[in-house]
Structure formats: structure tokens, C-alpha cells
Amino acid sequence: MAAAPTDELAAQARALLADYAADAQTEAHAAATLTQLAALLPALDAAYHQHDAPVVDDATYDALRRLNTRLELEFPRHALAHSPSATVGAPASGPFRRHRHMVPMLSLDNVFSREEFEGFVSRIARFLGLGDEQARALSFVAEPKIDGLSISLTYVHGRFVRGTTRGDGTEGEDVTANLRTLRDIPNQLATPFPDTIEIRGEIFLSKQAFLELNAAQEEAGEKPFANPRNAAAGSLRQLDPTITAKRPLSLFAYAAGYCDAPLAATHHGYLEQLRIWGFQVNPLSTQVKDAQAAEAFMERLTRERSGLDYDIDGVVYKLDDRALQERLGFAGRAPRWAVAWKFPAEQAITRLEKIDIQVGRTGALTPVAFLEPVNVGGVIVTRASLHNEDEIARKDIRVGDLVHVQRAGDVIPQITGVVLPRDRETQPFAFPHTCPACGAHAERPEGEVVWRCSGGLTCPAQVMERLIHFVSRDAFDIDGLGDRTIVEFHELGWLRTPADIFRLGAHEEDIAARDGWGKVSARNLVNAIAARRTIELSRLIYALGIRRIGTSNARLLARHYGSLANWRTQMEKAAVVGSDERLELGSITGIGTTIADELVAFFAEAHNRATLDDLTGELTRVLDEEAPEEGNLSGKTIVFTGTLTTMTRPEARAVAERLGARVSDSVSKKTDLVVLGEKAGSKARKATELGIETMDEASWRILADMPPAPEAEG
């Protein structure tokens, strides 16, 4: 797997998180940021979930996820359809056999204040179409958020048969033998029990157990663990179960995955059932009736957390009514019915030593603050992005200033301001108007806050960044071809274009002769490259580095167009404004006007078409991509129009997508079905003109196998 060194990933995270100012954000900047997040988050997931070696602290990771969500909400037309919002964790790796979860193990969105929690409740109410009084009546269960390792336990006929790590949320590592050594996991459930059930929980080490384990490690001359979470993960993933048995691991059970029989009607009822079955459930879990009670519980845990015998980083709030949980479902990678309320930010003051300008693969010039190292909440912070020219001017940040640095859930690390009055004379920062990498003129397009190098592919920084992106995890994912190797081979003149990667075999002997290589490693690299001559269409689209095309939009395009030949043909025809192809591109949910313009602009460049031709000439096959077979509407394109009365539009869309359909915002010749709500207008007329099937809302509920609307009952 090609990946940046951990210090580089951490620097990217810090720079990206700080590169956001709500009062200065433009659509272009937001779209670019979402694309960067789509590349960075999977790399951080892999470090955390695959290697048990997190690159950044939890607050920084949460901030990245939060920034992605915030931008998607503020700029919905640029929201990525399935990722990173739709992804969690990282693919399972290592010697353990992989196992697919029957129900995905997803993650949680975060809030950091009572106002944000109230916003979470409001979103539930809007999705379900609840009135104010009904929304106030919603009850939640509060559970301390354990900082451990998520696990799924499968029971068949009441007997424990398999234990799996979360992995990427879809499949994880089978660690059954190791889990059988834990006293907190019952081998047999107390009757009655369903035939098959997945029980989810968190494996952790108590603080005392962690101290004792590290003392034993040091006494044996072994390296101590960095924190209890790493120790728990390392203990569970031992190849020898007898080692795991010696580690004092604990489990709190808290959720259900798949179950073939009805469970308790409420979440707190389910927790009680877990206790009956013999599981440990966190004794601090409690019901809360509203935002005020949720805030009070949060304040209590903030006071008490240091005295707990295990680490927590917040509180999880889950809607208590399980029937409503089922209706709400999931939005991407997280349930709509649960949220994690994280503990507050921490701050410090340090000196700004210098400001450097970094050049990204799209030519964006990003100012980065180099700080005198400072401990902020247990993490040493040395760098933070300064957003852009306008943000530096707005805060009047200067080299030599003492600055306030914050590690918050919103933007971390962030320079929130300057310590005034200044303790020394400093000069305002002058943003450069030339590229520091190639000297080319920098331009700031009208309406944008980002300066960009005009050097294009003549700029070595952009060329190398594009090549690094090309081999990244979600693109061609070539093992052994990391950042430093790309730079090394580029400087040797071996790498200029993506196709050159597949011609590196001609340099195998030269590679083997270089320092740090050798015949075996050179042969392994050539083999890894050869293995990627067959690639999925979505990976190829993402690898091309088209601006604003992240992993989710790449997957969306691949599923919509199916094949490379069709996608390319349609993109070239979409250059004609008003053409059917341009209208079709713009009608894809998640692909707005700005993204469509970027796609058309990419294929309008002869150089890009030639680069793609050169690349595909080196590939053996680009795999066609079809919509996932998830339901009886798989592959169908559906449009909802008019006012829906028995469900909200977001709920209707979510149901359709769960059944495998594509939901479009406009009617075209490729639309399969139009669902007509009340006062359906022009879209209904166009559907009739084109001979497209239509149905009313009641018929849609029957087709989607939904229960009758309350109005229709009785």
C-alpha cells in the first residue's frame, strides 16, 4: 500500500483542518477541501484500524470528519455521495481471516455543544416529519464513549461462534480464538435468545490494567504501549491466544447488528437484555429526555471522567425508540439516530516562527504556520494551516507573534488569534504571488480565496503531488511506491506521467542497485505494479486527480456510466452546453454544476486526453462497474417530485438508495420511475411526454415494501 510517512500524514491533517474559515469559504474551496479529505481520511483510518498506530489524536481525527460533514451541509451540491462520509475504519489486514459483517459496523457523527445536540434532534424531527411537541417527546439513552476497540460478536442458537473487529465497517478480522479468552464474553446466552444475532461492544483496558501491562513490558525489555487503546488492540490481535489470555481485557456491550428476531422496543430495554444474557453494560448508561438533561449528563461526565477506571472521550446519545431508529437508518457512514458528544477543546499559547507556502496537486498555494512546539492537551503541536491570504489578513497574523492555538472538535489545530498587545515588533505577512516550487505566476480567480500556481504540469510540485495521488490507497494503491520513492524516481527522470509507472519495469536493475533497495524489493515493486494493470473504473477515475472528484464522486460516476468507454464518450459529448449528455451529468445526485464543469474542462484539454490514452494503453483491463445489487430497485433511476405527505423527501430518498436505486433531481430519457407527490408539476408533465412510468406515494410505499402510512391504517 502506498502511503505517506506518518509525520507527513499528521502535517497534512493539521494543515487541512486549519484551512477553513466559515466566513470566507467559497464553493470552489469547499469542493477542493472535500476532495482532499477523501484522500486523507482513509489513510488515517488505515493507520488506526489496520496498524493500531494512530497518526493523529482522536480530536484531530474527529475534526476532519466534522469538517467534511460541515462542508457537505453548507455546500450540498459538492457533497461526496458515499465517501468519506460513507466509510468507516479501514480494510482488515494482516494474518487474520477476514469476515463480512451481516450488518455494517458504522461510526458516529460528533457534536460539541448543547446547540449542536439540539441541531441533531432537529434533524431527526425533520427527517421523520415530526412537529415541535413530538420532537420534544423524543427520549435518548446516554452511554460513556469508551476509547477502545470495536468488536462484533456473532451468536448462533445462543452460542458464541465468531468475533470480528470493525475493520472497514463492511468486513473485519476474525479474532474469535482470542476473544474466547475474555471472561466478559459469555460462551452461551441465557434463554430465551434469537437464532442468530450480532452483539456489538468495545474491548478496552482499564487504567490500572494498562499501567500493570506497561510495567511488565518494561521489565521484560519490551517497548511500552503508547496508550490503553493501542494496548487493547495489540493484545486482541496476537497470533497466539495464550498471550491475549494474559492481558486483562474488558468488554462493555452496547449495540446490536443483525438479528433474526424482534428485539426490545427501546434501546434501554435492549441494554437490559444484554445484562440478562451475561454481558457487562456500562453502569453509567442512563436515559435522558431532552437537550437540557443531555447537557447535564455531559457536565457530570466531564467532572467525573478523570476518576473513572477507563478512558472515555465523550458521551454517545442514542434515540431510545428502536422503531424510529429503523426508520431513520443511516446517512453515509453514520446512523441518523445516534451522535457522540465530545469533550471540549483545549488551548495554549506559542510563538509563530515562520510561514511557508505549500503547493498542492491542483496548484493551490496553502500557507502553513510553523510553531514553537507546544503541548495542547497532551499532544505536541508544531504546525497549523493558516487557511488563505484573507484569513491571515483578517486575524492579522504575523511571523514572530505569540498566538492562541486550539485543539477543538471544529477545526484542529487552529490559530484562533494573536496575543495582544504584541510583545515585539512584527510586520504584516505578504502573500507571495509566484509559486515557490517553480516560480510561475500565481493567480487568484475571482470569487475564490485560494491562489493557484499557473505552471500546471510544468510545476514539479504539482507533477509529484499528482503522481502521489495516483498511487494512493483509494486510487491504484501500489505497494512500495510511496511519496519519497515517487520524488526519487521523478528526480531521476523515470516518472513524469501516470503511464510511466507501468514502464518502471525497464528500470528494475537500476532500482535494485540504488541505496535501500536490492533485487528482492525491486522485483516486489515491479510485481505490485503489474498487479494493478487491471483496475476498477472508480479507482481509475479518482486516480486521474480531476479537481473536485473524490472517491465518492468517482464511484458515483463509475456506477452511473458503467464503463470507461461510455464515461469518456459521455464526458466529451457533455462539453456541449444544453446537450442531453450535459443534462444527464448535471442530474446525477451529488454532481452539481461546478463538478460537471470540472469534468468537461478536464476532457476539453488535449493533454489530458493524451495522458489518459497513454495510461490505458499500459493497462490490461478497466473493470466495468455496476450499481450494487442491494434491492429490487437496483440500477433504476428514480425521481421524486411534488409534496410527499406520508414521509419526508430525505426519508424517501434514503429508502430508494437502500433498495439499490439511483435518485436523480431531474427527469430525462434515462429515468425509470417518477414518484408523484401532491402538486407535482413540470417533472410529472415531462415524465408523461417521455413515456416514463409514474406512480403515486401510496404505490411507492408498496413497491418499497414499507408499512402503510398511518392515515391509511384501519
Annotated binding site for NAD(+): 58-62, 107-108, 143, 166, 202, 318, 342
Task: State the residue for C-alpha cell 398511518.
Answer: 710
Smallest CA-to-CA distance from 415 within 60, 11, 14, 40 is with 14
What does the alpha-carbon distance between residue 133 and residue 120 come to, in Å, rounded to a whole number? 16
350: three-class secondary structure by DSSP: strand
Residue numbers belonging to the annotated binding site for Zn(2+): 435, 438, 459
Contact 77, 597 (CB under 8 A): no
Q: Of all helices (H) and strands (E), which one includes residue 199?
A: strand 196-205
Contact 698, 676 (CB under 8 A): no
Contact 13, 55 (CB under 8 A): yes
Contact 294, 341 (CB under 8 A): yes
Task: State the residue for C-alpha cell 430519457.
Answer: 669
What does the alpha-carbon distance between residue 6 and residue 90 come to, in Å, rounded to a whole number? 16
Name, in order, each residue with C-beta under 8 angstroms of 152's C-beta and a sequence gap of 6 or more.
Answer: 101, 105, 163, 164, 165, 166, 172, 198, 199, 200, 257
The neighbour count for residue 443, using CB atoms within 10 Å, is 15
Bridge partners, 317 (sequence order): 142, 339
Task: State the residue for C-alpha cell 474559515.
Answer: 21
Sign of CA dihedral 10, 15, 18, 23: negative
Contact 396, 504 (CB under 8 A): no
Kindly report the backbone phi and psi dihedral angles of residue 177, in degrees, each rounded to the nearest multiple of 5, phi listed first: -60, -40
All three cell numbers of 79: 457533497
Contact 11, 383 (CB under 8 A): yes
To the query of whether residue 686 is one of the catalytic residues in this protein, the response is no
Which one is catalytic: 145, 395, 636, 683? Answer: 145
The neighbour count for residue 41, using CB atoms within 10 Å, is 26
Task: State the residue for C-alpha cell 391509511.
Answer: 712
Complete DSSP assignment for 117-133: HHHHHHHHHHHHT--HH
* HSE, side-chain direction, 13 A CA sphere, residue 256: 24
* HSE, side-chain direction, 13 A CA sphere, residue 545: 23
* HSE, side-chain direction, 13 A CA sphere, residue 448: 15
Complete DSSP assignment for 53-120: --SS-HHHHHHHHHHHHHHHHHSGGG--SSSSTT--S----SSSPEEE-SS------EE-SHHHHHHH
343: three-class secondary structure by DSSP: coil
Active site residues: 145
